[in-house]
Structure 1
Amino acid sequence: MSMSPTKAKGKSPVTLSMTGYGHAVKENGQVRIEVEIKTVNNRFIDISFKMPRSYLCIEHRLKDAVKSVLSRGKVDVYISRTPLDAKAVEVAFNRPLFEKYYGIYLELCKITEADKVPLTKVVSEILHVRDVLSYDDSKDLDESESELVVEVLREALNRVIEMRRREGEVLCEEVLRRLSGLSSLKQKIEAEALGNSAQKMRLLEERLKELSPDIVSDRERLAMEAAYLADKVDVTEELKRLESHLAQFNETLSRSPQGRKLDFIVQELYREFNTIASKAQSGEIQGLVIDAKVELEKIREQIQNIE
Protein backbone atom coordinates (compact mmCIF):
# COMPACT_ATOMS: atom_id res chain seq x y z
CA MET A 1 0.00 0.00 0.00
CA SER A 2 1.17 3.56 -0.66
CA MET A 3 1.97 6.05 2.03
CA SER A 4 -0.75 8.50 2.99
CA PRO A 5 -0.20 11.95 1.45
CA THR A 6 1.11 14.68 3.70
CA LYS A 7 0.46 18.40 3.57
CA ALA A 8 4.12 19.32 3.44
CA LYS A 9 7.51 17.69 3.47
CA GLY A 10 10.19 18.72 5.90
CA LYS A 11 10.06 20.14 9.38
CA SER A 12 8.40 23.48 8.70
CA PRO A 13 5.08 24.08 6.93
CA VAL A 14 5.15 25.31 3.36
CA THR A 15 2.89 27.57 1.35
CA LEU A 16 0.51 25.59 -0.81
CA SER A 17 -1.24 26.90 -3.89
CA MET A 18 -4.84 25.82 -4.44
CA THR A 19 -4.11 25.03 -8.09
CA GLY A 20 -3.07 21.43 -8.60
CA TYR A 21 -3.39 18.29 -10.68
CA GLY A 22 -2.73 14.65 -9.96
CA HIS A 23 -3.15 11.41 -11.88
CA ALA A 24 -2.59 7.79 -10.85
CA VAL A 25 -3.39 4.34 -12.28
CA LYS A 26 -3.15 0.88 -10.71
CA GLU A 27 -4.54 -2.59 -11.30
CA ASN A 28 -4.80 -5.81 -9.34
CA GLY A 29 -5.36 -8.37 -12.08
CA GLN A 30 -9.14 -8.11 -12.05
CA VAL A 31 -9.66 -4.38 -12.47
CA ARG A 32 -7.74 -1.24 -13.39
CA ILE A 33 -8.46 1.92 -11.40
CA GLU A 34 -7.62 5.37 -12.74
CA VAL A 35 -7.93 8.54 -10.65
CA GLU A 36 -7.61 12.10 -11.91
CA ILE A 37 -7.82 15.09 -9.54
CA LYS A 38 -8.04 18.77 -10.45
CA THR A 39 -8.06 21.57 -7.88
CA VAL A 40 -8.60 25.32 -8.23
CA ASN A 41 -9.01 28.14 -5.74
CA ASN A 42 -12.17 28.39 -3.66
CA ARG A 43 -12.99 30.06 -0.37
CA PHE A 44 -13.83 26.76 1.31
CA ILE A 45 -13.27 23.06 0.57
CA ASP A 46 -15.67 21.81 -2.11
CA ILE A 47 -15.24 18.21 -3.26
CA SER A 48 -17.11 16.53 -6.11
CA PHE A 49 -16.76 12.97 -7.41
CA LYS A 50 -17.48 11.42 -10.79
CA MET A 51 -17.16 7.66 -10.39
CA PRO A 52 -18.97 4.33 -10.91
CA ARG A 53 -22.17 3.90 -8.91
CA SER A 54 -20.67 0.88 -7.18
CA TYR A 55 -18.23 3.24 -5.40
CA LEU A 56 -20.94 5.37 -3.80
CA CYS A 57 -20.77 3.18 -0.70
CA ILE A 58 -17.18 4.36 -0.05
CA GLU A 59 -17.66 8.01 -1.06
CA HIS A 60 -17.47 9.19 2.56
CA ARG A 61 -14.15 7.36 2.96
CA LEU A 62 -12.78 8.90 -0.22
CA LYS A 63 -13.94 12.36 0.83
CA ASP A 64 -12.26 11.97 4.22
CA ALA A 65 -9.01 11.05 2.44
CA VAL A 66 -9.19 14.27 0.43
CA LYS A 67 -10.05 16.42 3.46
CA SER A 68 -7.15 14.96 5.42
CA VAL A 69 -4.69 16.72 3.11
CA LEU A 70 -6.61 19.59 1.49
CA SER A 71 -8.32 22.30 3.52
CA ARG A 72 -9.40 24.76 0.80
CA GLY A 73 -10.20 24.71 -2.89
CA LYS A 74 -12.59 23.30 -5.46
CA VAL A 75 -11.61 19.65 -5.86
CA ASP A 76 -12.87 17.55 -8.78
CA VAL A 77 -12.14 13.82 -8.52
CA TYR A 78 -12.65 11.53 -11.51
CA ILE A 79 -12.47 7.77 -10.92
CA SER A 80 -12.78 5.22 -13.72
CA ARG A 81 -12.96 1.44 -13.43
CA THR A 82 -11.94 -0.94 -16.23
CA PRO A 83 -12.51 -4.70 -15.73
CA LEU A 84 -9.56 -6.78 -16.91
CA ASP A 85 -11.53 -10.05 -16.94
CA ALA A 86 -13.85 -10.13 -19.98
CA LYS A 87 -15.94 -12.87 -18.36
CA ALA A 88 -16.88 -10.46 -15.61
CA VAL A 89 -18.58 -8.15 -18.10
CA GLU A 90 -22.05 -8.88 -19.47
CA VAL A 91 -23.08 -7.25 -22.74
CA ALA A 92 -26.80 -6.85 -23.45
CA PHE A 93 -28.08 -6.31 -27.00
CA ASN A 94 -31.32 -4.32 -27.29
CA ARG A 95 -32.66 -5.87 -30.49
CA PRO A 96 -35.98 -3.95 -30.68
CA LEU A 97 -34.10 -0.65 -30.38
CA PHE A 98 -31.59 -1.72 -33.02
CA GLU A 99 -34.39 -2.71 -35.43
CA LYS A 100 -36.13 0.61 -34.79
CA TYR A 101 -33.03 2.61 -35.78
CA TYR A 102 -32.33 0.36 -38.76
CA GLY A 103 -35.91 0.80 -39.98
CA ILE A 104 -35.54 4.57 -39.72
CA TYR A 105 -32.35 4.34 -41.79
CA LEU A 106 -34.11 2.33 -44.56
CA GLU A 107 -37.03 4.77 -44.59
CA LEU A 108 -34.67 7.73 -44.92
CA CYS A 109 -32.94 6.03 -47.85
CA LYS A 110 -36.31 5.75 -49.68
CA ILE A 111 -37.27 9.35 -48.94
CA THR A 112 -33.96 10.83 -49.99
CA GLU A 113 -33.23 8.25 -52.71
CA ALA A 114 -29.71 8.23 -51.41
CA ASP A 115 -27.32 5.39 -52.10
CA LYS A 116 -27.12 2.92 -49.27
CA VAL A 117 -23.86 2.89 -47.35
CA PRO A 118 -22.11 -0.42 -46.61
CA LEU A 119 -24.09 -2.49 -44.12
CA THR A 120 -21.13 -2.88 -41.77
CA LYS A 121 -20.89 0.90 -41.42
CA VAL A 122 -24.61 1.21 -40.72
CA VAL A 123 -24.48 -1.51 -38.08
CA SER A 124 -21.40 0.05 -36.47
CA GLU A 125 -23.07 3.46 -36.25
CA ILE A 126 -26.28 2.06 -34.74
CA LEU A 127 -24.37 -0.02 -32.18
CA HIS A 128 -22.80 3.20 -30.92
CA VAL A 129 -26.22 4.68 -30.20
CA ARG A 130 -26.98 4.88 -26.51
CA ASP A 131 -28.69 1.82 -24.99
CA VAL A 132 -28.42 -0.36 -28.12
CA LEU A 133 -25.56 -2.10 -26.34
CA SER A 134 -25.28 -1.98 -22.57
CA TYR A 135 -22.45 -3.19 -20.40
CA ASP A 136 -22.93 -4.53 -16.91
CA ASP A 137 -19.81 -5.14 -14.85
CA SER A 138 -21.48 -4.32 -11.56
CA LYS A 139 -21.01 -6.50 -8.55
CA ASP A 140 -20.79 -6.05 -4.84
CA LEU A 141 -17.69 -4.00 -4.06
CA ASP A 142 -15.22 -6.21 -2.22
CA GLU A 143 -12.64 -5.06 0.31
CA SER A 144 -9.65 -5.56 -1.98
CA GLU A 145 -11.08 -3.29 -4.66
CA SER A 146 -12.09 -0.70 -2.04
CA GLU A 147 -8.50 -0.63 -0.78
CA LEU A 148 -7.19 -0.32 -4.33
CA VAL A 149 -9.44 2.68 -5.02
CA VAL A 150 -8.29 4.42 -1.83
CA GLU A 151 -4.66 3.64 -2.62
CA VAL A 152 -4.85 5.09 -6.13
CA LEU A 153 -6.70 8.15 -4.79
CA ARG A 154 -3.90 8.76 -2.28
CA GLU A 155 -1.24 8.48 -4.97
CA ALA A 156 -3.10 11.03 -7.09
CA LEU A 157 -3.43 13.29 -4.03
CA ASN A 158 0.32 13.06 -3.44
CA ARG A 159 0.88 14.37 -6.95
CA VAL A 160 -1.66 17.14 -6.37
CA ILE A 161 0.21 18.16 -3.20
CA GLU A 162 3.54 18.19 -5.04
CA MET A 163 2.17 20.48 -7.73
CA ARG A 164 0.46 22.72 -5.16
CA ARG A 165 3.72 22.91 -3.21
CA ARG A 166 5.71 23.97 -6.30
CA GLU A 167 3.10 26.57 -7.20
CA GLY A 168 3.02 27.70 -3.56
CA GLU A 169 6.77 28.30 -3.46
CA VAL A 170 6.48 30.67 -6.42
CA LEU A 171 3.52 32.45 -4.79
CA CYS A 172 5.37 32.77 -1.48
CA GLU A 173 8.46 34.31 -3.11
CA GLU A 174 6.31 36.85 -4.93
CA VAL A 175 4.33 37.75 -1.80
CA LEU A 176 7.51 38.13 0.29
CA ARG A 177 9.04 40.38 -2.36
CA ARG A 178 5.99 42.63 -2.36
CA LEU A 179 5.83 42.53 1.44
CA SER A 180 9.39 43.84 1.56
CA GLY A 181 8.36 46.69 -0.73
CA LEU A 182 5.39 47.40 1.51
CA SER A 183 7.66 47.57 4.56
CA SER A 184 9.93 50.06 2.77
CA LEU A 185 6.94 52.25 1.91
CA LYS A 186 5.83 52.13 5.54
CA GLN A 187 9.27 53.40 6.63
CA LYS A 188 9.10 56.25 4.11
CA ILE A 189 5.64 57.18 5.38
CA GLU A 190 6.98 57.16 8.94
CA ALA A 191 9.81 59.53 8.03
CA GLU A 192 7.45 61.84 6.14
CA ALA A 193 4.95 61.79 9.02
CA LEU A 194 7.58 63.07 11.48
CA GLY A 195 8.43 65.99 9.23
CA ASN A 196 4.76 66.61 8.49
CA SER A 197 3.91 66.86 12.19
CA ALA A 198 6.74 69.34 12.86
CA GLN A 199 5.70 71.44 9.88
CA LYS A 200 2.10 71.56 11.11
CA MET A 201 3.31 72.81 14.48
CA ARG A 202 5.31 75.62 12.86
CA LEU A 203 2.33 76.62 10.74
CA LEU A 204 0.16 76.70 13.85
CA GLU A 205 2.51 79.10 15.61
CA GLU A 206 2.74 81.35 12.56
CA ARG A 207 -1.03 81.52 12.17
CA LEU A 208 -1.57 82.18 15.85
CA LYS A 209 0.95 85.04 15.70
CA GLU A 210 -0.98 86.56 12.83
CA LEU A 211 -4.22 86.34 14.80
CA SER A 212 -3.10 87.73 18.14
CA PRO A 213 0.24 88.13 19.91
CA ASP A 214 -1.61 87.60 23.19
CA ILE A 215 -2.57 84.07 22.20
CA VAL A 216 1.05 83.19 21.47
CA SER A 217 2.09 84.49 24.86
CA ASP A 218 -0.50 82.19 26.45
CA ARG A 219 1.71 79.08 26.37
CA GLU A 220 -0.92 76.90 28.03
CA ARG A 221 -3.53 77.67 25.40
CA LEU A 222 -0.95 77.28 22.65
CA ALA A 223 -0.03 73.87 24.02
CA MET A 224 -3.69 72.83 24.02
CA GLU A 225 -4.14 73.96 20.41
CA ALA A 226 -0.94 72.20 19.41
CA ALA A 227 -2.00 68.99 21.15
CA TYR A 228 -5.36 69.09 19.38
CA LEU A 229 -3.73 69.56 16.00
CA ALA A 230 -1.08 66.95 16.71
CA ASP A 231 -3.78 64.43 17.58
CA LYS A 232 -5.55 65.11 14.28
CA VAL A 233 -2.44 64.61 12.15
CA ASP A 234 -0.51 62.11 14.27
CA VAL A 235 -0.33 58.65 12.66
CA THR A 236 1.97 57.03 15.22
CA GLU A 237 -0.64 54.51 16.34
CA GLU A 238 -1.53 53.59 12.76
CA LEU A 239 2.16 53.08 11.95
CA LYS A 240 2.56 50.86 15.00
CA ARG A 241 -0.41 48.76 13.94
CA LEU A 242 1.01 48.56 10.42
CA GLU A 243 4.26 47.21 11.86
CA SER A 244 2.30 44.67 13.90
CA HIS A 245 0.18 43.57 10.91
CA LEU A 246 3.25 43.18 8.68
CA ALA A 247 4.96 41.03 11.33
CA GLN A 248 1.80 38.97 11.74
CA PHE A 249 1.59 38.51 7.97
CA ASN A 250 5.15 37.19 7.88
CA GLU A 251 4.49 34.86 10.80
CA THR A 252 1.25 33.56 9.26
CA LEU A 253 3.02 32.89 5.98
CA SER A 254 5.25 30.40 7.81
CA ARG A 255 2.24 28.29 8.82
CA SER A 256 -0.15 26.10 6.84
CA PRO A 257 -2.95 26.59 5.96
CA GLN A 258 -2.72 30.37 5.78
CA GLY A 259 -4.95 31.83 3.05
CA ARG A 260 -7.98 32.98 5.04
CA LYS A 261 -5.97 34.69 7.77
CA LEU A 262 -3.70 36.40 5.25
CA ASP A 263 -6.75 37.81 3.50
CA PHE A 264 -8.01 39.22 6.82
CA ILE A 265 -4.62 40.81 7.58
CA VAL A 266 -4.57 42.45 4.14
CA GLN A 267 -7.95 44.03 4.92
CA GLU A 268 -6.53 45.44 8.16
CA LEU A 269 -3.50 46.82 6.31
CA TYR A 270 -5.83 48.56 3.85
CA ARG A 271 -7.70 50.11 6.77
CA GLU A 272 -4.54 51.50 8.40
CA PHE A 273 -3.17 52.94 5.15
CA ASN A 274 -6.50 54.66 4.42
CA THR A 275 -6.55 56.19 7.91
CA ILE A 276 -2.98 57.44 7.50
CA ALA A 277 -3.82 59.08 4.16
CA SER A 278 -6.84 60.89 5.62
CA LYS A 279 -5.07 62.06 8.81
CA ALA A 280 -1.72 63.09 7.38
CA GLN A 281 -3.11 65.63 4.87
CA SER A 282 0.19 65.45 3.03
CA GLY A 283 0.50 65.01 -0.71
CA GLU A 284 3.76 63.11 -0.29
CA ILE A 285 2.27 60.69 2.24
CA GLN A 286 -0.89 60.21 0.18
CA GLY A 287 1.28 59.34 -2.82
CA LEU A 288 3.16 56.76 -0.76
CA VAL A 289 -0.15 55.34 0.47
CA ILE A 290 -1.31 54.92 -3.14
CA ASP A 291 1.90 53.01 -3.90
CA ALA A 292 1.31 50.86 -0.82
CA LYS A 293 -2.26 50.08 -1.87
CA VAL A 294 -1.04 49.02 -5.32
CA GLU A 295 1.35 46.57 -3.62
CA LEU A 296 -1.46 45.40 -1.33
CA GLU A 297 -3.72 44.70 -4.29
CA LYS A 298 -0.99 42.59 -5.89
CA ILE A 299 -0.57 40.70 -2.61
CA ARG A 300 -4.32 40.17 -2.37
CA GLU A 301 -4.37 38.69 -5.88
CA GLN A 302 -1.58 36.27 -4.96
CA ILE A 303 -3.04 35.09 -1.65
CA GLN A 304 -6.41 34.32 -3.26
CA ASN A 305 -4.73 31.15 -4.51
CA ILE A 306 -3.00 30.24 -1.23
CA GLU A 307 -4.56 27.40 0.77
Structure 2
Amino acid sequence: MKSMTGYGKGQARVGGLALTAEIKTVNHRFGDINIKAPRFLLSFDNEIKKRVGERLRRGKIDVYISQEVSESLTTVPVLNRPLAESYMDLFRKMEAWFDLRDGVPLSLLAQQRDVILMQEAAPDPEGSSQCLFAALDQALAEVERMRAVEGQATREDMETRLRLVEQLLEQIKERAPLVVEEWRQKLHQRLERLSGELEVDPQRVAQEVALFADRCDISEEVARFASHLNQFRDLLGKDEPVGRQLDFLAQELNRETNTMGSKSNDAELTRMVVQVKAELEKIREQVQNVE
Protein backbone atom coordinates (compact mmCIF):
# COMPACT_ATOMS: atom_id res chain seq x y z
CA MET A 1 0.00 0.00 0.00
CA LYS A 2 1.22 3.46 -0.90
CA SER A 3 0.24 6.93 0.19
CA MET A 4 -0.50 9.64 -2.36
CA THR A 5 1.62 12.16 -0.47
CA GLY A 6 5.32 12.35 -1.22
CA TYR A 7 8.31 14.36 -2.36
CA GLY A 8 11.42 13.43 -4.29
CA LYS A 9 14.43 15.17 -5.77
CA GLY A 10 16.96 14.03 -8.32
CA GLN A 11 20.00 15.63 -9.95
CA ALA A 12 22.06 14.67 -12.97
CA ARG A 13 24.82 16.11 -15.12
CA VAL A 14 25.69 15.14 -18.69
CA GLY A 15 28.48 17.11 -20.34
CA GLY A 16 27.83 20.76 -19.65
CA LEU A 17 24.15 20.25 -18.84
CA ALA A 18 23.00 19.94 -15.21
CA LEU A 19 19.33 19.35 -14.39
CA THR A 20 17.36 19.02 -11.16
CA ALA A 21 14.02 17.18 -11.05
CA GLU A 22 11.62 17.67 -8.14
CA ILE A 23 8.33 15.80 -7.74
CA LYS A 24 5.61 16.69 -5.25
CA THR A 25 2.45 14.61 -4.89
CA VAL A 26 -0.73 15.14 -2.86
CA ASN A 27 -4.19 13.59 -2.70
CA HIS A 28 -6.33 13.56 -5.82
CA ARG A 29 -9.19 11.42 -7.04
CA PHE A 30 -7.39 10.58 -10.28
CA GLY A 31 -3.86 10.83 -11.69
CA ASP A 32 -3.17 14.49 -12.54
CA ILE A 33 0.36 15.20 -13.80
CA ASN A 34 1.60 18.78 -14.27
CA ILE A 35 5.05 19.62 -15.66
CA LYS A 36 7.12 22.78 -15.48
CA ALA A 37 10.40 22.62 -17.41
CA PRO A 38 12.76 24.83 -19.47
CA ARG A 39 11.65 25.47 -23.03
CA PHE A 40 14.33 23.30 -24.61
CA LEU A 41 12.78 20.29 -22.81
CA LEU A 42 9.21 20.82 -24.01
CA SER A 43 9.54 18.04 -26.58
CA PHE A 44 9.97 15.54 -23.71
CA ASP A 45 6.63 16.36 -22.01
CA ASN A 46 4.78 13.26 -23.22
CA GLU A 47 7.64 10.95 -22.28
CA ILE A 48 7.86 12.53 -18.82
CA LYS A 49 4.12 12.02 -18.25
CA LYS A 50 4.31 8.43 -19.44
CA ARG A 51 7.26 7.59 -17.18
CA VAL A 52 5.71 9.29 -14.15
CA GLY A 53 2.25 7.79 -14.79
CA GLU A 54 3.65 4.25 -14.94
CA ARG A 55 5.08 4.56 -11.43
CA LEU A 56 2.66 6.96 -9.70
CA ARG A 57 -0.87 5.86 -10.50
CA ARG A 58 -2.94 8.36 -8.48
CA GLY A 59 -2.55 11.81 -6.96
CA LYS A 60 -1.96 15.37 -8.02
CA ILE A 61 1.62 15.16 -9.25
CA ASP A 62 3.69 18.27 -9.88
CA VAL A 63 6.99 17.78 -11.72
CA TYR A 64 9.51 20.62 -11.71
CA ILE A 65 12.60 20.48 -13.94
CA SER A 66 15.19 23.22 -13.49
CA GLN A 67 18.52 23.86 -15.20
CA GLU A 68 21.51 24.66 -13.05
CA VAL A 69 23.98 27.35 -13.99
CA SER A 70 27.18 25.72 -15.20
CA GLU A 71 30.47 27.36 -16.17
CA SER A 72 31.04 24.61 -18.70
CA LEU A 73 28.00 25.63 -20.72
CA THR A 74 29.16 27.62 -23.73
CA THR A 75 27.58 30.74 -25.18
CA VAL A 76 27.52 31.61 -28.86
CA PRO A 77 26.95 34.92 -30.68
CA VAL A 78 23.69 35.09 -32.61
CA LEU A 79 22.80 37.68 -35.23
CA ASN A 80 19.58 39.57 -34.67
CA ARG A 81 18.96 39.73 -38.40
CA PRO A 82 15.74 41.82 -38.50
CA LEU A 83 17.40 44.51 -36.39
CA ALA A 84 20.62 44.38 -38.47
CA GLU A 85 18.64 44.81 -41.69
CA SER A 86 16.83 47.80 -40.21
CA TYR A 87 20.18 49.41 -39.34
CA MET A 88 21.56 48.71 -42.84
CA ASP A 89 18.49 50.24 -44.45
CA LEU A 90 18.92 53.34 -42.33
CA PHE A 91 22.68 53.59 -43.08
CA ARG A 92 22.06 53.37 -46.85
CA LYS A 93 19.47 56.10 -46.65
CA MET A 94 21.92 58.24 -44.73
CA GLU A 95 24.56 57.66 -47.46
CA ALA A 96 22.13 58.94 -50.07
CA TRP A 97 21.01 61.89 -47.99
CA PHE A 98 24.51 63.07 -47.18
CA ASP A 99 26.20 61.99 -50.43
CA LEU A 100 28.60 59.56 -48.74
CA ARG A 101 30.72 57.17 -50.82
CA ASP A 102 32.77 55.15 -48.28
CA GLY A 103 30.15 52.46 -47.67
CA VAL A 104 28.97 51.07 -44.34
CA PRO A 105 31.75 49.25 -42.45
CA LEU A 106 30.90 45.98 -40.76
CA SER A 107 32.37 47.24 -37.50
CA LEU A 108 29.77 50.01 -37.38
CA LEU A 109 26.91 47.56 -37.83
CA ALA A 110 28.32 45.17 -35.22
CA GLN A 111 28.63 47.95 -32.65
CA GLN A 112 24.91 48.67 -32.66
CA ARG A 113 23.03 47.58 -29.59
CA ASP A 114 21.38 44.10 -29.72
CA VAL A 115 22.52 43.42 -33.29
CA ILE A 116 24.68 40.59 -31.92
CA LEU A 117 23.23 38.63 -28.99
CA MET A 118 24.95 36.08 -26.78
CA GLN A 119 22.95 32.91 -26.17
CA GLU A 120 23.71 29.63 -24.46
CA ALA A 121 24.37 26.86 -26.90
CA ALA A 122 21.39 24.51 -27.05
CA PRO A 123 22.20 21.11 -25.50
CA ASP A 124 22.11 18.23 -27.93
CA PRO A 125 18.87 16.17 -27.74
CA GLU A 126 20.59 12.93 -26.76
CA GLY A 127 22.50 14.55 -23.90
CA SER A 128 19.36 16.37 -22.77
CA SER A 129 17.38 13.12 -22.73
CA GLN A 130 20.02 11.25 -20.71
CA CYS A 131 20.36 14.05 -18.19
CA LEU A 132 16.60 14.63 -17.85
CA PHE A 133 15.58 11.04 -17.26
CA ALA A 134 18.50 10.29 -14.96
CA ALA A 135 17.34 13.14 -12.70
CA LEU A 136 13.68 12.19 -13.10
CA ASP A 137 14.25 8.53 -12.20
CA GLN A 138 16.09 9.56 -9.03
CA ALA A 139 13.20 11.81 -8.02
CA LEU A 140 10.64 9.08 -8.78
CA ALA A 141 12.53 6.53 -6.70
CA GLU A 142 12.60 8.94 -3.75
CA VAL A 143 8.90 9.73 -4.08
CA GLU A 144 8.04 6.03 -4.21
CA ARG A 145 10.06 5.33 -1.07
CA MET A 146 8.30 8.11 0.81
CA ARG A 147 4.86 7.05 -0.41
CA ALA A 148 5.58 3.44 0.56
CA VAL A 149 6.66 4.41 4.10
CA GLU A 150 3.57 6.56 4.62
CA GLY A 151 1.41 3.87 3.04
CA GLN A 152 2.67 1.27 5.51
CA ALA A 153 1.92 3.58 8.43
CA THR A 154 -1.56 4.20 7.05
CA ARG A 155 -2.18 0.48 6.65
CA GLU A 156 -1.11 -0.26 10.22
CA ASP A 157 -3.40 2.45 11.56
CA MET A 158 -6.37 1.13 9.57
CA GLU A 159 -5.70 -2.44 10.67
CA THR A 160 -5.71 -1.32 14.32
CA ARG A 161 -9.04 0.42 13.83
CA LEU A 162 -10.48 -2.53 11.92
CA ARG A 163 -9.69 -4.83 14.85
CA LEU A 164 -11.61 -2.49 17.14
CA VAL A 165 -14.54 -2.38 14.69
CA GLU A 166 -14.56 -6.19 14.54
CA GLN A 167 -14.66 -6.37 18.34
CA LEU A 168 -17.57 -3.93 18.41
CA LEU A 169 -19.36 -5.95 15.70
CA GLU A 170 -19.12 -9.09 17.84
CA GLN A 171 -20.59 -7.17 20.78
CA ILE A 172 -23.41 -5.92 18.53
CA LYS A 173 -24.14 -9.47 17.35
CA GLU A 174 -24.34 -10.62 20.96
CA ARG A 175 -26.47 -7.70 22.10
CA ALA A 176 -28.97 -7.51 19.21
CA PRO A 177 -30.95 -10.72 20.02
CA LEU A 178 -31.25 -9.69 23.67
CA VAL A 179 -32.99 -6.42 22.82
CA VAL A 180 -36.22 -8.12 21.69
CA GLU A 181 -36.29 -10.46 24.68
CA GLU A 182 -35.75 -7.59 27.12
CA TRP A 183 -38.50 -5.57 25.42
CA ARG A 184 -40.87 -8.57 25.60
CA GLN A 185 -40.21 -8.96 29.32
CA LYS A 186 -40.79 -5.26 29.97
CA LEU A 187 -44.03 -5.40 27.95
CA HIS A 188 -45.30 -8.35 30.01
CA GLN A 189 -44.37 -6.57 33.23
CA ARG A 190 -46.37 -3.48 32.21
CA LEU A 191 -49.31 -5.59 31.14
CA GLU A 192 -49.25 -7.49 34.46
CA ARG A 193 -49.47 -4.19 36.31
CA LEU A 194 -52.49 -3.29 34.20
CA SER A 195 -54.09 -6.73 34.22
CA GLY A 196 -56.75 -5.63 36.68
CA GLU A 197 -57.78 -2.68 34.54
CA LEU A 198 -57.99 -4.24 31.06
CA GLU A 199 -58.19 -7.55 29.31
CA VAL A 200 -54.95 -8.74 27.69
CA ASP A 201 -55.07 -10.60 24.39
CA PRO A 202 -52.07 -13.00 24.28
CA GLN A 203 -52.27 -13.22 20.49
CA ARG A 204 -52.13 -9.43 20.14
CA VAL A 205 -49.15 -9.33 22.52
CA ALA A 206 -47.34 -11.92 20.42
CA GLN A 207 -48.03 -9.86 17.30
CA GLU A 208 -46.60 -6.73 18.91
CA VAL A 209 -43.47 -8.61 19.96
CA ALA A 210 -43.09 -9.99 16.45
CA LEU A 211 -43.48 -6.52 14.91
CA PHE A 212 -40.93 -5.08 17.30
CA ALA A 213 -38.50 -7.90 16.50
CA ASP A 214 -38.89 -7.26 12.78
CA ARG A 215 -38.26 -3.52 13.19
CA CYS A 216 -35.14 -4.18 15.27
CA ASP A 217 -33.74 -7.01 13.19
CA ILE A 218 -30.23 -6.05 12.01
CA SER A 219 -29.01 -9.53 11.11
CA GLU A 220 -28.84 -8.72 7.38
CA GLU A 221 -26.94 -5.49 8.01
CA VAL A 222 -24.51 -7.29 10.31
CA ALA A 223 -23.89 -10.00 7.71
CA ARG A 224 -23.24 -7.46 4.93
CA PHE A 225 -21.06 -5.42 7.25
CA ALA A 226 -18.95 -8.49 8.06
CA SER A 227 -18.63 -9.30 4.35
CA HIS A 228 -17.48 -5.75 3.55
CA LEU A 229 -14.94 -5.95 6.36
CA ASN A 230 -13.47 -9.15 4.91
CA GLN A 231 -13.19 -7.54 1.47
CA PHE A 232 -11.57 -4.49 3.04
CA ARG A 233 -8.95 -6.66 4.74
CA ASP A 234 -8.25 -8.55 1.54
CA LEU A 235 -7.59 -5.28 -0.31
CA LEU A 236 -5.16 -4.13 2.37
CA GLY A 237 -2.89 -7.02 1.46
CA LYS A 238 -2.82 -6.41 -2.29
CA ASP A 239 0.32 -5.09 -3.99
CA GLU A 240 -1.50 -2.68 -6.29
CA PRO A 241 -3.42 0.61 -6.07
CA VAL A 242 -6.62 -0.08 -4.09
CA GLY A 243 -7.59 3.38 -2.86
CA ARG A 244 -10.77 3.72 -4.91
CA GLN A 245 -12.00 0.25 -3.93
CA LEU A 246 -11.29 0.93 -0.26
CA ASP A 247 -13.16 4.22 -0.48
CA PHE A 248 -16.21 2.45 -1.95
CA LEU A 249 -16.16 -0.21 0.78
CA ALA A 250 -15.78 2.45 3.46
CA GLN A 251 -18.95 4.11 2.14
CA GLU A 252 -20.79 0.78 2.16
CA LEU A 253 -19.67 0.05 5.73
CA ASN A 254 -20.90 3.46 6.80
CA ARG A 255 -24.26 2.87 5.06
CA GLU A 256 -24.80 -0.43 6.88
CA THR A 257 -23.87 1.21 10.18
CA ASN A 258 -26.40 3.99 9.62
CA THR A 259 -29.10 1.39 9.00
CA MET A 260 -28.17 -0.45 12.20
CA GLY A 261 -28.39 2.82 14.10
CA SER A 262 -31.81 3.66 12.66
CA LYS A 263 -33.15 0.25 13.73
CA SER A 264 -31.65 0.36 17.19
CA ASN A 265 -34.16 0.65 20.03
CA ASP A 266 -31.61 0.05 22.74
CA ALA A 267 -29.25 2.55 24.41
CA GLU A 268 -26.38 0.08 24.72
CA LEU A 269 -26.69 -1.03 21.09
CA THR A 270 -26.81 2.59 19.95
CA ARG A 271 -23.64 3.33 21.91
CA MET A 272 -21.81 0.51 20.11
CA VAL A 273 -23.03 1.66 16.72
CA VAL A 274 -21.86 5.22 17.43
CA GLN A 275 -18.40 3.86 18.31
CA VAL A 276 -18.29 1.93 15.04
CA LYS A 277 -19.24 5.06 13.09
CA ALA A 278 -16.47 7.03 14.80
CA GLU A 279 -13.84 4.45 13.86
CA LEU A 280 -15.15 4.16 10.30
CA GLU A 281 -14.88 7.91 9.86
CA LYS A 282 -11.22 7.80 10.89
CA ILE A 283 -10.62 4.87 8.53
CA ARG A 284 -12.23 6.73 5.66
CA GLU A 285 -10.03 9.77 6.31
CA GLN A 286 -7.00 7.51 5.96
CA VAL A 287 -8.39 5.88 2.81
CA GLN A 288 -8.52 9.28 1.09
CA ASN A 289 -4.71 9.28 1.04
CA VAL A 290 -4.26 5.75 -0.32
CA GLU A 291 -3.09 5.36 -3.93
Counterpart in the other structure of 1:261 = 245
Counterpart in the other structure of 1:156 = 139
Alignment of 1:37-186 (within 5 A): 37-82=23-68, 84=70, 86=72, 88-90=74-76, 136-137=119-120, 139=122, 142-186=125-169
Q: Distance in 1 between matches of 2:244 and 2:21?
A: 29
Secondary structure at the residue paired with 2:201? helix
Q: Distance in 2 between matches of 1:186 and 1:22?
A: 41
Q: Does 1:276 align with 2:260?
A: yes
TM-score, length basis structure 1: 0.74
Secondary structure at the residue paired with 1:71? coil
Q: Does 1:34 align with 2:20?
A: yes
Counterpart in the other structure of 1:105 = none
8 Å Cα contact 2:12/2:135 also seen in 1: yes
Q: Distance in 1 between matches of 2:147 and 2:118?
A: 38
Q: Distance in 2 between matches of 1:269 and 1:301?
A: 14
Q: Distance in 1 between matches of 2:121 and 2:251?
A: 53
Distance 1:83 1:20, change over 3 A: same
Q: Does 1:19 align with 2:5?
A: yes
Q: Distance in 2 between matches of 1:286 and 1:272?
A: 14
Q: Distance in 1 between matches of 2:213 and 2:127?
A: 75
Distance 1:214 1:57, change over 3 A: same
Counterpart in the other structure of 2:110 = none
Secondary structure at the residue paired with 2:62? strand
Q: Unaligned regions of 5+ residues in structure 2, if any?
A: 79-113
Q: Distance in 2 between matches of 1:272 and 1:135?
A: 70
Alignment of 1:184-203 (within 5 A): 184-203=167-186
Counterpart in the other structure of 1:227 = 210
8 Å Cα contact 2:232/2:246 also seen in 1: yes
C-alpha displacement at 1:137, in angstroms? 2.8
Q: Distance in 2 between matches of 1:201 and 1:194?
A: 12
Letter in 2 for 1:177: T
Which of 282, 286, 291 is residue 302 of structure 1 equivalent to? 286
Q: Distance in 2 between matches of 1:275 and 1:148?
A: 58
Larger radius of gyration: 2
Secondary structure at the residue paired with 1:177? helix
Letter in 1 for 2:162: L
Letter in 2 for 1:157: L
Most deviating of 222-231 and 243-252? 222-231
Secondary structure at the residue paired with 1:68? helix
8 Å Cα contact 1:83/1:137 also seen in 2: no
**Sequence identity percentage:** 39
C-alpha displacement at 1:298, in angstroms? 1.3
- Deviation track 1:207-255 (CA, whole Å, cap 9, x = no partner) reads 6775876631x4xx66554433221111101110110111111111122
Secondary structure at the residue paired with 1:33? strand
Distance 1:51 1:138, change over 3 A: farther
Counterpart in the other structure of 1:120 = none
Secondary structure at the residue paired with 2:24? strand
Secondary structure at the residue paired with 1:228? helix
Letter in 2 for 1:304: Q
Q: Distance in 1 between matches of 2:244 and 2:205?
A: 48
